[in-house]
Structure formats: structure tokens, C-alpha cells
Chain A
Amino acid sequence: MEIKIEGLEAKIGDTPILRGVDLTMKSGEVHALMGPNGSGKSTLSNVVFGHPSYEVTGGRVLVDGEDILEMEPHERARLGLFLAFQYPVEISGVTVGRFLRRAVEIRFEGQKEVRTKGFLKDLREAMDFMEIDQQFINRYLNEGFSGGEKKRMEILQMLMLQPQFSILDETDSGLDIDALAVVARGVNKMRDHDFGALIITHYQRILDHIKPDFVHIMYQGRIVTSGGGEIVTELEKRGYDWVRAQYGQEEEVHE
């Protein structure tokens, strides 16, 4: 699968947030996306998934050559895209088990019989792998989950849904060291298959577990520079000041 983002612009209300994002990613690759708070990383994920709050004002998002911007979020999901949310919402009254059974059924429509038959066994295995207690099967989705539990739940969903490409929005934030290793293990397990990911993060530590092939820096709604792992080291050392100095656009700084 190839995802090609070209000149993507989007606004919320009257505020432009994405100002021409260009990014090409393929399954088999791991990309890291970094950038200061408010630079537009979550907005990019939301727009790629068709969140209704954002208005796309320019550009294209092509998946294997087909523009997906007119598709509903569920149609994009059914292409094999997955988004691990920065802030997963609580869905009261819907158990993890029931929800995942349905999501798996949709994802593997056609092969439904096979998939749902072994569903519970698959789920239990995936839960063990993610070190999530089996009792969570009967808990309401994300309701009352700790921050770390929510993040593990996102990765569990990814393992069950087997997407071809995932965007992981700060899945590492708020995780303790052990949880971080577990989450990274989940992502790496996906890499056995034809799978690509865009990992949005502020820290090097997750990238020590999941080696990115490319690193991009977003600033003021654009990808201002791309490179390899060395950029991360640079950032850890120097912070974002040099990015601001080099790529900041005067007229757009209102503060």
C-alpha cells in the first residue's frame, strides 16, 4: 500500500492548520513524525481519516493512486488503514469483546466465518501478547481505563484488525517503561507482515524500540524537513529552536 499526501491543506473554522503537507509512505516502511505541540500532527491524522470537524481546502491523499478525501471514515478504514488515537474516547456500555468482534467481522468481511470462529482465541492470544488482563474483554471500551491501558487497547485493536498501514498518534505518551516495550513489541509484530506505520512522537525512546526508516519534522502545518534517525538525536540535544529559527514564518507567528 502506498499513501501519498500531496499539498494537503485543511482548516478548522477559519483557522488554517495544515498548510501544504507533502508526504509519501509505503507499507514496509516506518516513518516517524515529530514536531512541537500544536504543529498539526494530530490534525494530519484526523484529516487522513476524514474527521468531520476539519475542512480540506487543498491537496490530495492518494491510497494506491486513489484519492480518498471524499470517502467516509469507515470506508477509509476498510481500505486497511488504522489510527491509534492520541486520546481514545470512552464508549460507554459497549464491551471490548463485543466491539472488537464486530470490528474484526467488518475488516474480514467475506472471510467472516473463519475469522469470527477463532475470534475469541485470537483475542485472548493478542491480549496475552499485549499483557492486557482477560477481564478487559467484558469492560466497557476505554471507560475508566488508565492512560496506559487506553494506549495498549489501541495496539490490541491494531493487532486484531491487521491493517496495512497505521498512524500511531503519540501512542508512547504516558506509558511507563515496561508498557512502552510492550506497545513497541505489538507494533514490531505487525512488521512481520506487509505493514507500514507513521509514528507520531515527541521522544526518542519509542524509536529506540521501533527503528524508523524516515523521520519528518512538522512545523506550522508543514513538513519542514525529513531525514533519518540522526534528526531525532539532534532534536533530543537541541530542542526545536533551530527548527523555529530555520523554518519559522514571521507573518504566521501571532503570539
Chain B
Amino acid sequence: MSNEAQTVHIDDYKFGFHYPDNSVFKTRKGLDEDVVKAISSHKQEPDWMLQYRLQALKVFREKQMPNWGGDLSDIDFDEIYYYAKPSEEQSRTWDDVPDDIKTTFDRIGIPEAERKYLAGVGAQYDSEMVYHNIQESVAKLGVLFTDPETAVREHPEIVKKYFGTVIPYSDNKFAALNSAVWSGGSFVYIPPGVRVEVPLQAYFRINSENFGQFERTLIIADEGSFVHYVEGCTAPVYATDSLHSAVVEIIALPGSRVRYTTIQNWSSDVYNLVTKRAFAYENATVEWVDGNIGSKRTMKYPSIWLMGEGAHGEVLSIAFAGKGQEQDTGGKAVHCASNTSSVITSKSISKDGGTASYRGQIKIEPDLHDVKSHVVCDALLIDEHSISNTYPYMDIQSDDVSMEHEARVSKISEEQLFYLMSRGMDEAEASMTIVNGFLDPLVKQLPMEYAVELNRLIELEMEGSVG
């Protein structure tokens, strides 16, 4: 079999290459109970998890498709492969990872990043984590960082206690789908008082065509702990569509802080429909940094439920909608306790006819006091035919609330371009400079490596955008 990657040049997407489908096991196209059972038995799961999946499958079938956000009518659930196992074993060293897969991750730069600045890395290829490793020094502190299958086997008491409690399968159609066929993802547990100062990172790669990737991530930060978890994703460019539908649950116990950073860079044929939610207990802080650059349609609104006094939640959402893309993103904060605060900052860029929509919700339960919420949505339009929408929803049932909402849409102005060009920049560089400036207040909150990565991706998207 050939190891030559086939690179497809569409829109300068750098990660559009793929290797032959060398899966060692793959379920047939489409979804029914047998497919779910096959996945479960392949994972040698306990019966409780199989039952959970089957329940979720029922709910998936009953639930309607969302009737808002992007157009999903092109998704054909019968044409998708729901599970593809890329290799027999998960590896702890890159040397043991099969060649195609290792080369893929080399090209994306994961092993190098691990050496340089990560506390642990998980790498998922289609349905399974093919590599999972945590630095010994971090593991010694009692930090658990594995794929969720291993967690089901080795830490069933923690998994049973939290799995599906933040996002039940009844939440929405895609959460139900994920709960039925989930595979791979991460399980993270940080013991009380432990601070993991450098990030844990998971990387998700789709290789197969017509494929559905359904990873599941569960993060539990015990009291007073800290963790920064980062995920990145890419896929080859095919003529047909793929589906990525993850569920991410975070439990931030009292006094802990969790930061979750996503740099999503799916190819332009991936539907990215992800449910992300966190519970933040007393004095806990949860931050979602959500960068959505690629995909065909993304619908994703990371949310934070502020469950205890003193809890704080932040969502920083960055979306780039290019040609044929629809980014329907934003954030939600649900205030369930007094003395809680939330900040949602959204920055979107639309170009070449792309649509970026901010969709967000602030909900404040009755009888609370000292609740603060601040929402800022900034949109930048690169040209006349691109679109930006804002859909803020508010449901405020307490009086002692300070709520601010700002929304701005700007176009790259001729005067700004002229000014920069009069200083010697060509038009492309001048637009890029304005776009980078627009994002700067957000990007500079990211750790250096991710800021550089995000800038680079946006630069690639901007290239050739100016005629």
C-alpha cells in the first residue's frame, strides 16, 4: 500500500492531504442498533455504557434537527461511517504509531509541540486515540489524562459520577448522536490543589471519507486545581461531507480554574456541530477560548453554568467565515447563583460571501443578587457580499443584575486601507494588518504558541482575498 499522501489544493488549506484508508476495523455506512453494539463490543465496554448508548440512539431518532443556525439539510445520516479504528493499539511513544498516522501528525507538528511546551498529548485519528501520553512529572501529581475508553475501564466510579451529567443525551439531537456512538476524546482529572502550569493538548484528525467523528471529552478539575486544555482539529479535503459532532463536559469544582482552548481548522467540507458545557461551582472559573477558522458549517456555543457563589465564566469566541462557510458561534452563561459574573466576547470576520453569526444567551435565574454579565460582539466584514448576524438572547429573572451588551459591525474602511498603503503596505498586507489588529485584543490573551498558530491560520485564509 502506498504511503504517498495525496494533497488537494483547495483554498490553500494546508492540511487537506490524506493517506489511504488503512482502518483495521470500520462499521458499515449508516446507523442502527447493530452499529452501536459493534462499537461498544469493539471497545469491550461494560453493559452500563452499552445501555447508555442505546438509550441515546433512541433519543437521537426522536429528536428534530435544530431549525435555526446553519442549514443542515445536506447531512445524510445514512451515508456516514460512524466508526473507523485506525490501528490495533494505542501508543505511548510516537515510534509505535503506524507510519501514515505518525507522518500525518508530524506534518501537523504535534510531536514537536509536545516536546516543546505541553504537559501531555492525545492524538485522535478517525475514531480512536492513537497516541496518548502525559509527562511523568504531571502524572506523579495524580493527574489523569487518558482516552475516555480507558477511563471507563480503569476509573468507572469517576466516569459514572460525571459522564453525561453536564450534557445529558436528551439535550439536543447531536448530543444524543454523540452519546450513542462516541469514540475517543479525552478524560482529564486534576486532583485537589494541583496546578498543571503547561497545557494538555488533544489533536483530532479525520482521515476517512464520509466519516463521522464523535469524540467525547470529560474534564474534572477538583477543588482549587488548575488546568489548561487545548484541542486542535484538521481533516483532508474531500468532495463529500464529513461530520464532526463532539461533546465536551467540564466540571470545575469549588475554587478551581479550567481554561479550554480550541483552534478548529476543519477543511471546508466538515459539518462541525459540537456541544460544550461547563459547570462552575463556588469560586470556580471556567474560560472557553473558541477559535473557529475552518469547516463548512459550525454550530457551537460553549456554555457555562455558574452553579455556586463567586463563580466566574468567560467565553472568547473567534470566528472566520470564508467562501461557502457558515460560522454560527457564540456562547452561553446561565447564572444559577448570586455573586456570579460572566463575560462573553465574540469577534468574527466574514469574507468572500461567508456568513458569521453570533448567537448567545444570558440566563439569570430568579432571586439572585450581585450578578454581572457583559457581552461584546464585534464583527468585521472584509467585503460587500459577506454577512454578519447577531442573535443575542436574554432571559433575566432577577433584579439585582448588571447586564451590558455591546455589538458592533465594521467594514474594513477605505480610509484605513489608504492610510496603511500610503505607508508602503500593499493592499493585501494592509487588510491583513487591519484584521490582525481587530483580533489582537483577543489573540494576545492566548499563550504565545496558540496566538502564533491562530494568526498563521487567519493569514492563510486571508491570502488571495484581495483582488
User: Which A residues lie at the B interface, using CB under 8 A?
Assistant: 46, 49-53, 72-74, 76-78, 82-83, 85, 88-89, 91-94, 99, 102-103, 106-107, 140, 157, 161
A77–B415 CA distance with the chains assembled, in angstroms: 16
- Contacts A103-B423, A157-B423 known; list 18 others, CB within 8 Å: A49-B418, A52-B418, A53-B414, A73-B421, A74-B422, A74-B423, A78-B424, A82-B422, A83-B422, A91-B437, A93-B436, A93-B438, A94-B433, A94-B434, A94-B436, A99-B423, A102-B433, A106-B425
The answer to the question of B419 belonging to the interface, with a C-beta cut-off of 8 Å to chain A, is: yes
Across-interface contacts of B421 in A (CB, < 8 A): 50, 72-74, 77
A91–B434 CA distance with the chains assembled, in angstroms: 7
Q: Decide if B423 touches A92 in the complex (CB within 8 Å).
A: no
A161–B422 CA distance with the chains assembled, in angstroms: 11
User: Which B residues lie at the A interface, using CB under 8 A?
Assistant: 413-416, 418-427, 430, 433-434, 436-441
A85–B422 CA distance with the chains assembled, in angstroms: 10
- CB closest residue in chain B, given A45: B422
A74–B433 CA distance with the chains assembled, in angstroms: 14
Q: Decide if A92 touches B424 in the complex (CB within 8 Å).
A: no
A72–B429 CA distance with the chains assembled, in angstroms: 13
Across-interface contacts of A52 in B (CB, < 8 A): 414, 418
A77–B427 CA distance with the chains assembled, in angstroms: 13
Residue from A52, A72, A89 having most chain B Cβ neighbours under 10 A: A89
Q: Decide if B437 touches A89 in the complex (CB within 8 Å).
A: no
Across-interface contacts of B422 in A (CB, < 8 A): 49, 73-74, 76-77, 82-83, 85
Given A53-B414, A88-B419, A89-B419: A102 and B437 within 8 A (CB)?
no
Partner of A89, one of B413, B426, B427: B413
Across-interface contacts of B427 in A (CB, < 8 A): 72, 74
Across-interface contacts of B436 in A (CB, < 8 A): 93-94
Across-interface contacts of B433 in A (CB, < 8 A): 91, 94, 99, 102
- CB closest residue in chain A, given B421: A73
- CB closest residue in chain B, given A88: B419
Across-interface contacts of B438 in A (CB, < 8 A): 92-93
Given A89-B419, A92-B437: A102 and B425 within 8 A (CB)?
yes
Across-interface contacts of A157 in B (CB, < 8 A): 423
Across-interface contacts of B430 in A (CB, < 8 A): 74
Query: 18 A–B contact pairs at CB < 8 A?
Result: A72-B427, A73-B422, A74-B424, A78-B424, A82-B422, A83-B422, A89-B413, A89-B415, A89-B416, A89-B419, A91-B434, A92-B437, A93-B441, A94-B433, A102-B433, A103-B423, A106-B423, A140-B440
Across-interface contacts of B437 in A (CB, < 8 A): 91-94, 140
Across-interface contacts of B419 in A (CB, < 8 A): 85, 88-89, 91
Across-interface contacts of A99 in B (CB, < 8 A): 423, 433
Partner of A93, one of B413, B415, B420, B440: B440
Across-interface contacts of A92 in B (CB, < 8 A): 437-438
**Interchain nearest-CB distance for A125 vs B (Å):** 20
A94–B414 CA distance with the chains assembled, in angstroms: 17
A106–B423 CA distance with the chains assembled, in angstroms: 9
- CB closest residue in chain A, given B439: A93
Across-interface contacts of A93 in B (CB, < 8 A): 436-441
**Interchain nearest-CB distance for A94 vs B (Å):** 4
Q: Decide if B418 touches A161 in the complex (CB within 8 Å).
A: no
A103–B424 CA distance with the chains assembled, in angstroms: 6
- CB closest residue in chain B, given A105: B424
Smallest CB-CB A-B distances: 5 pairs: A93-B437, A93-B440, A73-B421, A106-B424, A94-B437
**Interchain nearest-CB distance for B154 vs A (Å):** 47
**Interchain nearest-CB distance for A76 vs B (Å):** 8
Across-interface contacts of A49 in B (CB, < 8 A): 418, 422
A72–B424 CA distance with the chains assembled, in angstroms: 10
A154–B102 CA distance with the chains assembled, in angstroms: 52
A51–B436 CA distance with the chains assembled, in angstroms: 23
- CB closest residue in chain B, given A143: B437
A193–B444 CA distance with the chains assembled, in angstroms: 40
Q: Decide if A73 touches B434 in the complex (CB within 8 Å).
A: no
A53–B434 CA distance with the chains assembled, in angstroms: 19
Q: Decide if B440 touches A94 in the complex (CB within 8 Å).
A: yes
**Interchain nearest-CB distance for B231 vs A (Å):** 26
A158–B438 CA distance with the chains assembled, in angstroms: 25
Partner of A51, one of B418, B425, B439: B418
Across-interface contacts of B416 in A (CB, < 8 A): 89, 91
Across-interface contacts of A91 in B (CB, < 8 A): 416, 419-420, 433-434, 437
Across-interface contacts of B415 in A (CB, < 8 A): 89
Q: Decide if B423 touches A161 in the complex (CB within 8 Å).
A: yes
A111–B276 CA distance with the chains assembled, in angstroms: 51
**Interchain nearest-CB distance for A13 vs B (Å):** 14
- CB closest residue in chain A, given B419: A89
- CB closest residue in chain A, given B413: A89
Residue from B416, B421, B433, B439 having most chain A Cβ neighbours under 10 A: B421
A78–B423 CA distance with the chains assembled, in angstroms: 8
Across-interface contacts of A74 in B (CB, < 8 A): 421-427, 430
**Interchain nearest-CB distance for A29 vs B (Å):** 22
**Interchain nearest-CB distance for B190 vs A (Å):** 34
**Interchain nearest-CB distance for B22 vs A (Å):** 45
- CB closest residue in chain A, given B415: A89
A73–B427 CA distance with the chains assembled, in angstroms: 9
Across-interface contacts of A83 in B (CB, < 8 A): 422
Given A94-B436, A140-B437: A103 and B425 within 8 A (CB)?
yes
Residue from A78, A91, A93 having most chain B Cβ neighbours under 10 A: A93
